[in-house]
Structures are given as structure tokens and as C-alpha cells.
Structure 1
Amino acid sequence: MSTNVIAVHIRNLQLHNATPTTIRHRLDNLQRLEAKLGKPLIEATVDELVEWQAGLRVSPSSIATYTAHIRSFYRWALLNGVIEIDPTIHLVTPKLKRRLPRPIPEQDLAVALITSRYDHQLFCVFLLAGYCGLRCGEIARIARSDIREDEKNGGAYLVVHGKGGHERIIRIAPDIYTEVRSLMGRAGFLFLSKNGQPYTPNRLTQITSAHLKAIGLPYTLHTLRHRFATRLADLGADVRDVQVALGHQHLSTTTLYLASNTRRSTSSVDRLGRGLSSMTRR
């Protein structure tokens, strides 16, 4: 019975045009919870779900994600008359700390680019993250048809398939596009594995992380995205433009990059500090 309910719920997500990633994660969470409970999900009690959440040994952000998936399922079940009481009423959503960006330093980015030259696909992945601000999943989903060359000014424009099914258009600078263009001799996805299949975001993350670790750099591909955003802020880009480029839904997320950007204020702070000697002169 519960398996059928899960299947109906998944079909409902598909009807609402949920992304394949959301559907996959929802299904995985529901199946793992059902296996943990050892009974159909629709028979779960409030106490059982509280015990399940308390037993999670993952990061607070993962707990928040798992809880959101489970809550969504039971709210849908309640709305459709599958259950009479929502058993998630006492689940707690952890308060998450706001994490400041951790951009890869420029000299380390240069090392990552130089050492990836032997693999042009890997080199272009680093370019698209560090100079266009793309997430790993967005890079994996790039197809030839998503790119429109700018014949007048050089470079190109890219339709990015972002998180939650949201699309945006970003600029690829001429120097970056010169490198990416060599991957466009075929239709379909740009980044393919040796067997000709497109990379999954997880696999692309593993490959880039392994390369960075092998050359002694303690970073991930996402830190190159952070570098893109902080460098835009350094150059004086409008915060709204940075928000659009990154595909942030909320401006508050983008302002974190401005909060960590100290270069523009450094000279003013230094000038202010120079008044100390005259102020304290006896």
C-alpha cells in the first residue's frame, strides 16, 4: 500500500514539473525512511518520526534537507486524504549557520588550470566554474544547443539549467569561449565520459575534487564559483547583477559575497587608521 502511495506521490511531483534531481532525492529519502521504520510510511507515528530524526548522524544541513522531503510527502498525503494526521508536526528544522564564501585564491586557481591542461574537458569545467560561476550540476547539463555565439562582440551567451528547474542566461567571456568552443563539434551534451555518456553532477564533482586533492589544493569546484562571485564584487559589479549571474533566488544569499569582500574598503579603513598618531600625540 505504502509503495503505491509513494509512486502516486512521485507522479504528482512529475505533474508539477519537479526536476529529475528533486524527484530522485525525494524517492530516495522516502524509501530509506520506510526501510528504517520497517512498515508503510502512512502507518508511521509522531514518536517514530521524532526518533528517526533524532537518530540521524549527518550534518545539520542534511537533516534539514531530509526533514523537508519527509514533511512534503506527509503534507501531500494529508491534503489528499491518505492520512488523517500529519505525523511530522513535532519534527524540528535545524537552524543553519550562514556560511561565508571560501573562494579559491588566485594563485591556486592558476595551478588548477595549468595542471588540468592535459584534459581539455576538465580544464573547461574549471573555467566555467571560476569565470562564469556555474555549479557542478549546471556544467554537467550544458548542451550544444544552450550556447549562442556573440558574432559581434565575441564570446557567447549560455542558457543555464539551474537549481529547481530555474533557467538563466549568462555571459561567457571571449577568452573563455575560445576554450569551450572546441567542445562544440558535436550535438548533445558538452561534457562526456569515456563511454560517451554525459557526466552526472556527482561524478563531475568526484573528478574535480580528486584533481584538486592530487595537486595539494584543499578546495572543491564550488570554491571556484565563490571566486567568480567575489571577484565580480571586487570589480564593483552591482549586487543585482551578481545575483542574476549566480542564479540566487534570494538577494540575501548574494550579499554574503559582498560581506566577505574587503578589498574595496581596505583603502578607506587604512586612511582612517592613519589618524591615530596625530590623535594620540602628546
Structure 2
Amino acid sequence: MNEFEHQKNLFVEYLQIEKNASSLTITNYKEDLRDFMNFLQAESMASLKQVDYSVIRVYLSQLHNKQLSRRSISRKLSCLRSFYRFLEREKLVEQNPFLNVRMPKSENPIPQFFYEEEIKYLFEVSDVTTPLGQRNQALIELLYGTGMRVSECEQLEQGDIDFSLSTLLVRGKGRKERYVPFGQFAFDALTTYLHEGRPDLQSEKTEGTSRVFLNARGGPLTARGIRTILNKMVEDAALTVDIHPHKLRHTFATHLLNEGADLRSVQELLGHEHLSSTQIYTHVTKDRLRHVYMNSHPRANK
């Protein structure tokens, strides 16, 4: 094992044990480190200690030439800055060359979301007389009804559901826990799935799993599986829109704010540590904006 690989493995171990990083974060960081180390080897650099600002500039230039988004470049820089901070702490390098490298300005695109007339079709495509249809209905109702991340939904266990209070115990990033309420539609869909669909999906091999959502073979449903299900639902609903699991989270936040929810409450429901993360949802639809104007401005209506 060469020096690069050894130090990368130490860093990944640190992320897993000390930082409690999510599996997605670790996967992304591994990819970013592999990309950077391939670059160093191509530049004939034998040690991580040789990296300085001039080397980083060349690396950034290559990333720009690959036409990566600012967000992707920022993530790579953040990973490498954390990596060198760890190496510095472990006395494996003398300084962090990424410390003063400026992050590219974020594009801050407006989050994509479903309009209410679009999303209603997603609730009508599942055959709720079948176990898989009952599971899919519970899945879409819960994702839209709570704004959970897909990774949080994937990890949800039966003991995390409190039907008496209609709340979920959600384990978010960094294993931070929060309680999220859910409404009557999600309540009914979950009850049907847990009482009827889930027992039929469960196999003898996976009888011990407490995960809420199971795949067709009875094992725990993965984040990739959830994405596949959502894409199929969009296809069945004959929608000509793109979908990704986060789009349901964006829709949840947008619809709450458009109906008058305050930003702090939405922040708590989403599990955002900083209010600035929630402020991207303060956009409003044109219809909502027009409605507010027509009902509020004294000269809007004759």
C-alpha cells in the first residue's frame, strides 16, 4: 500500500468513527480523494507534503476544464481541506495548503419543486391492493408529508413511528435526531402498509429487520431503490418532469412556506442546522405572488 492510499484510509476511518459521517459523505469523499491522488500521480508527485498553492492552482484549472459545476468544485475543495486538516493534526504534514484557497461562489439555483396540480398525480399511480403498491404509497406520502431526506427514510425503523402522536423520530446528518409530525394521508398509508403490505414482503431470511421499507425480496430498501421507485411513479403518472428524491423535500418546504408557515418552523422540520440553508426556499410561485398582490395592494382591483 502506497503513502497516498494509507493516508486516505486513515482519513476515511476518522470520518466513520469520530465524525459519524453519513455513507453518502464517505462515498463522495473517497471519490474526491481518488480524483486528487490520480492527479498527483499524473504530475509525478511522490508525497502529499509536496502539495502547495501552485499545485492546487493547476488542479483547479483541470477541474474547470472538465466543466464541473461550482458546487462540485466546492465539494472537492472542502474534502481536501478537511483531509489536510486531519493530516496536520496527525503530524503527517506540516501545513494545510488548502487553508487559504478560496471557494468558488455558489450559483444558488432556485430549488426545483412540484406544483400542487403536478404532485397530485403521484398519489394516484400506485395499486394499493398489492404489497408493493401499498409500500410505494406509504413512501411517497411520507417523503412529501415530512420532507425527510432519502437517507433518513432509508434508515427509518418501525420503532421510530409514534402513531398516537403522528410523529416520527428521524435520525439526520451527524446522527442528530429530531421529531417530525405527519398528516392523515401518511398515517393511513403507513397503517395499511405496515399491517398488510410489509408482512407479505418480509421473507424468512429478513424476518429480523426492523426497517420500515422493504424491497421486493424482503430486504431493507436502499436509497437507490427509492430513487428507482420514484422514477417509475413519475413515468406511470405520465409526467414530463424530472424527479429526484430531494425534489419532494423541496416541494414539502415550498408548499409549507407558500401556505404561510414561518421559516424557523420549516428549518426545524427539515433538520437544517443553519437558517441560511432554509432560506433558499423563500422563493414563491408566480401564482402565489399574483394571489398575494391581487389581494393585498389597494389598487390591484377596481
Normalized against structure 2, the TM-score is what?
A: 0.78
The match for 1:33 is 36
Q: Which residue of 1 aligns with 2:16?
A: 14
Q: Deviations over 1:78-107 (max 9, x none)?
A: 222101232324643111122323320112
How far 1:266 moved relative to its partner?
Answer: 4.4
Are the equivalent residues in 2 in contact too, given 1:140–1:199 (CA < 8 A)? yes
Query: Where in structure 2 are the equivalents of 1:32-71 lying within 5 Å?
Result: 32-38=35-41, 42-46=48-52, 47-56=54-63, 57=66, 58-71=68-81
Residue 181 in 1 paired to residue 187 in 2? no
Between stretches 133-142 and 228-237, larger displacement belongs to 228-237
Instruction: List gaps (5 residues or longer) in structure 1.
Output: none
Paired with 2:86 and 2:9, the residues of 1 have a C-alpha distance of: 13
Cα gap change, 1:40/1:144 in structure 2, threshold over 3 Å: closer, same or farther? farther
Query: Quick check: 1:195 aligned with 2:217?
Result: yes
CA RMSD of aligned residues (A): 2.8
Q: Secondary structure in 2 aligned to 1:113? A: helix
Unaligned runs of 5+ in 2: 200-208
Aligned match of 2:152:
138
Alignment partners' CA distance in 2, 1:259 and 1:222: 17
Name the CA distance, whole Å, in 2 between partners of 1:15 and 1:137: 19
Q: Which of 132, 139, 142 is the matching residue for 1:128? A: 142
Q: Which residue identity does 2:78 align to in structure 1? A: A
Residue 277 of structure 1 deviates from its aligned partner by 9.3
> How far off is 1:209 after superposition?
2.8
The residue aligned with 2:104 is 94
- How far does residue 179 in structure 1 lie from its aligned partner after superposition? 0.7
The question of whether the paired residues in 2 share the 8 Å contact of 1:158 and 1:172 is answered with yes
C-alpha distance after superposition, 1:92-137 (max 9, x if no partner) = 3111122323320112111111113362222222211222112222
Find the residue that maps to 2:29 and give its secondary structure. Answer: helix
Alpha-carbon distance change, 194 to 25 in structure 1, aligned in 2, over 3 angstroms:
same
Amino acid corresponding to residue 37 of structure 2 in structure 1 = E
* Deviation at residue 68 of structure 1 after TM alignment: 0.7
TM score, norm. by length of structure 1: 0.83
Corresponding residue number in structure 2 for 1:260? 284
**Shift in CA distance, 217/267, structure 1 to aligned 2, threshold 3 Å:** closer
Describe the SS at the equivalent of 1:55: helix
Identity %: 23
Count of residue correspondences: 274
Q: 1:252 to 1:2 in 2, by over 3 A?
A: closer
CA 5–233 in structure 1, closer or farther in 2 if over 3 Å, else same: same
